Structure 1
């Protein structure tokens, strides 16, 4: 049953991303253009560091699949693309392996095809410490993702209905594994309150994974005979909203959910993310065009990221947090209701310049 469900997930997710592009709240974020801000491209680096983790680029192939013969082949292709482009990669949930060791190779193929890459194992919040260690050991994983998916489980016909012990289990796993733990949503967003709670648990990094990308409530509803949860289609917060909500929490955050192009990556970084993750679009690309198509797409994104950072005057991904951005539309309305000030973002480069001029003068 798990294998069939994984195949359904891939099929429905790919179908979602073959539909015409929809608005998401990244469209409410725009850069203020400063025509003389540009620098030399030779001085730009895509490397990013956060929570004890170092990546050569601020982009990853995020958690998607595994657990069946078909999805094992998808994981193989994704791992090859990650190897050839140097981007980090995450498996889908490894619960299938924990339930049946015969599924091990559908996940282990990632390490076999990408022996030196940064690979993240992925489990749900019901896992024990022993299970978390098994997942990390199978992949020789560099980090462990724990996904939060209460809404998906609620809509899933065979899903969990007990969520009260998720927090204690996450805290135990953080203490019980030897790799960084990244807690992520699956497309409904992490609120400020959730991020602060995760920080108290000792979680090093959070992936806000807001709505706007693959919609697992819709996927699970499509699997129901009556499709009676259609009204949850817009549940949750967008990735852009979550990033603004996260300001000042002190926990490094990643941006996934609704990332459609290099500009969305830049928007996420400018709003405080350390890196961005992409799932559905990369899945559709590898299914439709194979490994060469995905390698070409990712390589193109990395090239464009470097070019756009050059034009914006950002030497590193972190420097994008000093670029002026405008927050408008529905995203601005969300911020007003949550008490988040956004006007300062439109002129923050001035403060940054004054600080650096003061430091230079003091020297």
Structure 2
């Protein structure tokens, strides 16, 4: 039954990609163009550091799948692409492994194909400390993701209905494992209040994973005999909204959910993310063209990201958080309602940049 569900998730997630090429709230973020801000390409580094983690690039293949024969083959291809491009990668939820150890290979294939890469194991918030350690040990994982998916569980016919112990369990896992813990949503966003709580629980990094990408409420509704939760398709906050809401919280954040191209990665970094994650688009790419197609796409993205940073004068991903950006449309209204000062984002380069610094680029 779990294997069938995992295969269903992959099929429905890939089908959703046909509908995700249009507008989302990343389009409400616009860079102020400064025509003499550019620097030399040789000065740009894509390396990023956050929450005790160091990555060579600010992009990862985010959590997707595992637990069936078909999804094991997908994980193999994803891991090959990660190995050849140097991007970090996460497994999908390892709950299936905790229930049936015979599916371990559908996850360990990632480490076998990518022996020296940065790999994140993924568990849900109901996992015990023992199972969290098992997941990390199985993959020799460099970090542990804990996913939050109350809305998905609510719509899932066989889903969990008890959420009250999630926060205490997260705190225990954080204290009980020896790798950084990243808590992520699955596509409905993390609010400022949730981020404050995660910070108090000792979580190193939060992946806001907002609305705009794969919609797991829709996926689970498609699995129901009666599609009686379709009214939840617009639930949650977008990724840009979550990033803006996160300002001042004090926990490093990642941007995933609705990332369609290198410009969206750039926008996420400019709004304060330390890195961006992509799932659905990369999944469709590997299903359509195998690891070779995904390697080509990721390589192109990294090259374009460095080129855009060069034009903006940002030597590092962190430097993008000092670029001037305009917040438009519905995203601006969200900021007004949540008390986020958007005017300072449009003029923030003035607060630190002298003429000499402007010519030298942003650190």
Normalising by the smaller structure, the TM-score range is: over 0.9
Name the residue aligned to 1:102: 102
Name the residue aligned to 1:300: 300
Q: Distance in 2 between matches of 1:343 and 1:5?
A: 46
- Residue by residue over 1:14-42, the C-alpha shift from the partner in whole angstroms, topping out at 9 and shown as x without a partner, is 00012351311000000000110000000
Name the residue aligned to 1:321: 321
Name the residue aligned to 1:34: 34
Q: Tell me the C-alpha RMSD between the 2 structures.
A: 1.1
SS in 2 for 1:353: coil
SS in 2 for 1:183: strand
Q: Distance in 1 between matches of 2:278 and 2:216?
A: 15
Q: Distance in 1 between matches of 2:160 and 2:249?
A: 30
- Residue by residue over 1:175-196, the C-alpha shift from the partner in whole angstroms, topping out at 9 and shown as x without a partner, is 0000000000000000000000
Q: Distance in 2 between matches of 1:25 and 1:269?
A: 15
Q: Distance in 2 between matches of 1:33 and 1:168?
A: 46
SS in 2 for 1:332: helix
Counting only pairs closer than 5 Å after superposition, residues 100-139 of structure 1 correspond to structure 2 as 100-139=100-139
Q: Tell me if the contact between 2:20 and 2:213 (Cα under 8 Å) persists in the aligned partners.
A: no
| TM-score normalised by structure 1 residue count | 0.97
Name the residue aligned to 2:19: 19
Name the residue aligned to 1:93: 93
Q: Distance in 2 between matches of 1:137 and 1:245?
A: 35
Q: Distance in 2 between matches of 1:37 and 1:340?
A: 26
Name the residue aligned to 2:171: 171
Name the residue aligned to 1:352: 352
SS in 1 for 2:21: coil
SS in 2 for 1:17: helix
In the comparison of the two structures, how many residue pairs are matched? 358
Name the residue aligned to 2:6: 6
Name the residue aligned to 2:265: 265
SS in 1 for 2:352: helix
Q: Distance in 2 between matches of 1:181 and 1:41?
A: 34
User: Shift in Å at residue 356 of structure 1?
Assistant: 8.2
Name the residue aligned to 1:338: 338
Q: Distance in 2 between matches of 1:311 and 1:22?
A: 26
- Any gaps of 5 or more consecutive residues in structure 1? none
Q: Distance in 1 between matches of 2:332 and 2:254?
A: 21
Q: Distance in 2 between matches of 1:311 and 1:31?
A: 11
User: Shift in Å at residue 355 of structure 1?
Assistant: 11
- Any gaps of 5 or more consecutive residues in structure 2? none
Matched, 1:79 2:79: yes
| TM-score normalised by structure 2 residue count | 0.97
Q: Distance in 1 between matches of 2:35 and 2:202?
A: 43
- Residue by residue over 1:261-291, the C-alpha shift from the partner in whole angstroms, topping out at 9 and shown as x without a partner, is 0000000000000000000000000001111
Q: Distance in 2 between matches of 1:20 and 1:265?
A: 16
SS in 1 for 2:54: strand
Q: Tell me if the contact between 1:48 and 1:55 (Cα under 8 Å) persists in the aligned partners.
A: yes
